[in-house]
Structure 1
Amino acid sequence: MTDEEILSEFRASAALLEGHFVLSSGRHSAQYLQCARVLMNAERAGQLARALVQKIPREIRNQIEVVVSPAMGGLIIGHEMGRCLGVDALFLERPEGTFHLRRGFRLDPGQKVLMVEDVVTTGLSSREAIEAVKAEGGQVIAEASLVDRSNGSADLGVPFFPLIEIAVPSYAEDDIPPELAAIPVTKPGSRKG
Structure 2
Amino acid sequence: MIDNGQVLEAHKRLMELETTRDDLLLQLHRTTSERIDSKHPVNHYFINMMEISDKLANHLWWFILQRALNVVQSDPTQLVTALRVIEREEKSDKKALDREKQTGFLPPGRPKRWRKKCLDTLEKATVERFESQPQTDDTIWLAVYLERVKRIIVDDLTTVKRLFVPCFPPSYNILICTSICTTDAFKIW
Fold shared by both chains (TM-score > 0.5): no
User: Which has a greater percent of strand?
Assistant: 1
TM-score of the aligned structures, taking structure 1 as reference length = 0.23
For the pair shown, the structure with the greater C-alpha radius of gyration is 2
